[in-house]
Amino acid sequence: MNVLKVSRLTIAAFVLPCLIIYVGIVFVPIMVSMYSGLLDWNGIGESKFIGLDNFRNLFFHDPVFWPSVRRTLMFSVFSMAEIPIALLVAILLKRYIRRPNFLVSSYFLPVILSVVVVGQLWKTIYNPASMGGMLNQVLEAIGLGSWAHAWLTEPSVAMYSLYFVALWQYLGYHTLIQYTGILNVPEEIYEAAKIDGADGFAADRYITFPNIIPIFKISIVLAFIGSLQAFDMVMVMTGGGPAHATDVISTHMYNMSFLSMKYGYGSSIAAFLVILCLVATFLINLIFNKLEKRFS
């Protein structure tokens, strides 16, 4: 007997409670959202079916939409750019530090904090020096006062300030993931390589790197999903302003639906977001399947 044979009723009792909540809260709303994307509706009153008009407006007539898509993607690019740094930190931790627990837990500390705490903390840090903002005070103290900015209210720098907070918060997460990956590479491979003359960074190039490609995938998926969760951070820190300079896809969706009361239009953005997520995950998986084949 390999697998239990049980009655349909038993299966239903085990599976249905979970499945009903899950499908009802995740998939049904997505379907509703796909349909509402086809409506001209403010969320309360009468709705009118307008076909793909919302999508047409979104793609061709919305000056905020494409920049917000670009910023969302840039958010993932910046988060992914952090992965090599995390890998370097992880390699150094493994090679030089015998008891890394303190370091690892310090790096990880920001990861467990709520976006609200992190966002409000950084808002305070980014404040002008006259309002007690740490960053500008530090710049003045080291003689770089001319670099001081109104970090969150100048349209040209606001978005970079937000990227940076995300990098700060998640560096520890990526480092820990890479570090765990490196620890799982069998020590015998390194020893064998040492005999063949590969040591230090050569060993990393030929052993560590190919062996943790699956870990890169995890980090990249995480960076991508994290960049979508940038929603909370943007809402807490700027709400998409000044003048849409920090709008990402989801804040645009939120502002359209709840502030401009264009519920149908907001739903079409939500539908776009879901499709973008599924396509991106599919692509990441495809690329990494190829990479893993090439390196193994």
Of 243 and 274, nearer to another protein (C-beta) is 274
Of 30 and 156, nearer to another protein (C-beta) is 30
| Position 42, amino acid | N
Residue 106: Cβ-neighbour burial (10 angstroms; 0-12, 13-18, 19+): exposed
The CA–CA distances, whole Å, from 168 to 14, 78, 199, 236 equal 42, 11, 32, 16
Residue 92's CB is within 10 A of a number of other CB atoms, namely 14
Of 156 and 208, nearer to another protein (C-beta) is 208
User: What is the smallest separation between the CB atom of 280 and another protein, expressed in angstroms?
Assistant: 8
| Position 85, amino acid | I
Of 5 and 156, nearer to another protein (C-beta) is 5
User: What is the smallest separation between the CB atom of 142 and another protein, expressed in angstroms?
Assistant: 11
Cα–Cα distance between 33 and 248 in angstroms, integer?
A: 19
User: What is the smallest separation between the CB atom of 264 and another protein, expressed in angstroms?
Assistant: 10
Residue 170's CB is within 10 A of a number of other CB atoms, namely 20
Cα–Cα distance between 238 and 123 in angstroms, integer?
A: 9
User: What is the smallest separation between the CB atom of 63 and another protein, expressed in angstroms?
Assistant: 22
User: What is the smallest separation between the CB atom of 177 and another protein, expressed in angstroms?
Assistant: 6
Closest CA to 77 of 159, 163, 168, 155: 163
Of 156 and 202, nearer to another protein (C-beta) is 202
